[in-house]
Amino acid sequence: MYLWPPVLLTIILTIVLFFSSGCTQQPRGNNIGPPPMRGQALQKQVINKQLESLREKNFSVLRTEMVIKGMSMDNPMLLRAFKSEMILELWVKSTYSNQYDLFKTYNVCSKSGVLGPKLKEGDKQTPEGFYNVTKDRLNPNSQYFLSFNIGFPNAYDKSLGRTGSLLMIHGNCVSLGCLAMTDKSIGEIYLIVEQNFKYGHKSIPVHIYPFRMTQKNMMARNKSRWYPFWENLKEGYDHFEKYRTPAHATAKNGRYVFN
């Protein structure tokens, strides 16, 4: 009978133990006290404590930052993302005018896919278009720390037969078609969005563009198969650039229509 060398056995055992201790594995304690909670129950308890800690540490700071910039957490908001530049902007309506001002720009730390819209479930594409976050789409118990669903597919996507689900803005810096942020960034964004809903707002627009839709950037990509689609997106982009208020987008005849 063949006997495995002790060194090789040690290596194999180490590898097995390493791969069996993934993020779903619960930490080992000293077995004092009640048996540990398992699975989703423990995850929910831990994340709720993390979220409460974030509220205690960051909420008043964020609120003060907004006041200094002439904004308030109960003002209308807009999230605007640019895939090529890998940034997510948070805009807030000014307390003193009808225009929106930039509160903060966050780096998107991970993305997947290429420039162009999401077409079907599993293509790992980040959507492009005009979406909305609603209160019921917030997920404080996400496996990606904190997350919220952007509402893909919207009416426009559905009219073209596009499929997909659970497209999020989330933490943990891992993306399979979502906009992945650092935990610090999603912590700030989540607190602000959550508070905005507590003030009674029904939704927050999320505009996702392939790139900053300047004329120069458009011309550099005018041979793309998606150029006509991007021209349509640019109408919404230009509206915000001109008026500093988000256009309301609806779907008609396979296009976005703005008013």
Residue 91 and residue 101 in contact, taking contact as beta carbons nearer than 8 Å: yes
State the Cα–Cα distance between residues 169 and 249, nearest whole angstrom. 20
State the Cα–Cα distance between residues 172 and 142, nearest whole angstrom. 10
Task: Tell me which of 170, 201, 207, 248 is the catalytic residue.
Answer: 170
Q: What is the biggest distance separating any 2 CA atoms in the chain, rounded to whole angstroms?
A: 84
Is position 201 annotated as part of the catalytic site? no
Is position 109 annotated as part of the catalytic site? no
State the Cα–Cα distance between residues 131 and 148, nearest whole angstrom. 12
Task: Tell me which of 178, 207, 239, 248 is the catalytic residue.
Answer: 178
Whose CA is closest to 27, among 13, 38, 12? 38
- H or E segment at 131? strand 129-134
Whole-number CA gyration radius for the chain: 22
What amino acid is encoded at 4 in this protein? W
Active-site residues, by number, are 170, 178
